[in-house]
Amino acid sequence: MESLSAFDIIKIGIGPSSSHTMGPWSAALLFLNYLNEQHKLSDVIKIRTYLYGSLAKTGKGHGTDIAVMMGLSNENFNTIDTDSILKKVETIKKNGLIHPSEGIAIPFDDEKDILFEYKKSLNLHPNGMQFDALLKDGTILSREYFSTGGGFVMTPDDAGDANKQIKTPYPCNSAQELLSNCTKLNLRISELIMLNETAWRSEAETRKQALHIWSEIKDCIFRGINKSGTLPGGLNVRRRAYDINNHLLHGQKFSHADEWIKTIKKGPNDFNTVNKWVSVFALAVNEENASFGRIVTAPTNGASGVIPAVLMYAYCFVPYFGEEEIVNFIITAGEIGTLYKKEATISAAMGGCQAEIGVSSSMAAAGLTEALGGRKEQVLQAAEIAMEHHLGMTCDPIGGLVQIPCIERNCMGAIKAITASNIAMESDSSAARLNLDNVINTMWETAIDMNTKYKETSEGGLAKIPVNISEC
């Protein structure tokens, strides 16, 4: 089975959706790369994109068309100025041209060249898309891609060439293997993960990357609490992180995130106040995500507020929680995410919201328990408890927008993660009747049984409730 790094699961991304924005964006870039490899990019006179299944049904609300235009413009979502995205899209529409490379301009009409195939699906995954390039000689070059959740993209040819896959020293393809390896080597879970991560980079580089993730989390939350108004998309959802933050800090203003965090740490830490702060952290991230902001995908964008909220909670309110604990939290959370990716799914189009909020809550619970010094059995128990109480959760975004109920669900997922960690830390794990592998398998069985209308199609659940959308 494929080895995955913790940073395949927790990585820098852009909103509003990892599977519907980042995935198609990456697929468009892959298609340009394919045309370059064929030495045909300069011969292209038209590029047409077909979006199938869930990508079609919720594509407008998730900004899939915008992502495709940015990808075909050879933009990088890791480095692009997020405030410039909509302006770039307006320029494409106004000029009727797309620029896949410097010096190359191709006629482009988004209404005719990005087609939403609402009634068709490709075989391998609900998030399928096809790119067609028409060449000067009349030849058409086509490629299919599938956005499989968390920003991952595959083609029909990616069935798994084992010779191309990185192998870790101690593969962990299940929770039981993770536990067995830790026991055999007498290592904590974070220590084993650090050892396995050397298959990709040095220990120093792993720590640096984890702390870079932490820096991005702080900046994202800080951006979110400093923006007011309504979110784009037409639901007129009001940003709430700004208002709650102002209320809790009595309107104080701050020039940077560290100054803001320092003030939070000095403030009240009663249960009700801490609970509100957890919600602020999650709301801030997901409000940024809903407006094409830069966030940390963990494991998806729709669930990107859970891990930041739990990590920021620990940093602000748990004594002696420093860089070492942050690193251990992030790599442990990422490793738990790999188990879901391997054994089940992290795509709401495949498994409903249990595959996103449920997985992120499970990851956060494990990360928090490890960072607080929990035993390896307690870490896995915390992950199991968190997922156990998200089983069956549907994905039903109103209007296809990652706003209602998605944003609030991140607050709930964060609180459940903290509760799961608290229970596990005070429990005798040997008395547990369920284990993490049981719950991951059950989650996958539930995903298979779940009606398609509850899998990110906006055809069931809350998405059926009539809501006036002024613009989309």
Give phi and psi for 463, each to the nearest 5. -65, -15
Percent of the chain whose predicted confidence (pLDDT) is above 90 = 89
Q: Is the pLDDT of residue 125 over 80?
A: yes
pLDDT tens digits, 287-309 = 999 999 999 999 999 999 999 99
Per-residue pLDDT, 97: 97
pLDDT band of residue 463 (cuts 50, 70, 90) is very high
Rounded CA-CA distance 37/55 in Å is 27
Taking residues 113-125, what's their average pLDDT? 91
Q: Choose between 318 and 60: higher pLDDT.
A: 318
Contact (Cβ atoms closer than 8 angstroms) between residue 40 and residue 212: no
Taking residues 384-400, what's their average pLDDT? 96
Per-residue pLDDT, 159: 52
Taking residues 30-34, what's their average pLDDT? 97
pLDDT band of residue 164 (cuts 50, 70, 90) is low
Q: Nearest Cα to 168, choosing from 341, 3, 9?
A: 3
Contact (Cβ atoms closer than 8 angstroms) between residue 437 and residue 384: no
Q: Is the pLDDT of residue 315 over 50?
A: yes
Rounded CA-CA distance 312/417 in Å is 13
Q: At CA 317, angle to CA 316 and CA 320, rounded to 5?
A: 85
Q: Find residue 115's DSSP bridge partners.
A: 50
Taking residues 346-350, what's their average pLDDT? 94
pLDDT band of residue 366 (cuts 50, 70, 90) is very high
Q: Is the pLDDT of residue 472 over 70?
A: no
Q: Nearest Cα to 158, choosing from 126, 133, 124?
A: 124
Domain boundaries, the chain: 17-161, 171-464
Give phi and psi for 397, each to the nearest 5. -70, 125
Taking residues 108-128, what's their average pLDDT? 92
Distances (CA, A) of 68 to 29, 43, 45, 109, 139: 9, 20, 17, 12, 22
Q: Is the pLDDT of residue 37 over 60?
A: yes
Per-residue pLDDT, 162: 41
pLDDT tens digits, 172-231 = 999 999 999 999 999 999 999 999 999 999 999 999 999 999 999 999 999 999 999 999
Architecture of the domain defined by 17-161: 2-Layer Sandwich (3.30)
pLDDT band of residue 60 (cuts 50, 70, 90) is confident
Cis-peptide, bond into residue 16, ω within 30° of zero: yes
Q: For the chain, what is the mean pLDDT?
A: 95
Q: Find residue 104's DSSP bridge partners.
A: 101
Taking residues 83-107, what's their average pLDDT? 95
Distances (CA, A) of 153 to 18, 29, 41, 157, 223: 10, 11, 21, 12, 29
Entry pTM: 0.92
Per-residue pLDDT, 163: 43
Distances (CA, A) of 50 to 8, 47, 119, 130, 452: 27, 10, 12, 5, 21
Q: Is the pLDDT of residue 100 over 60?
A: yes
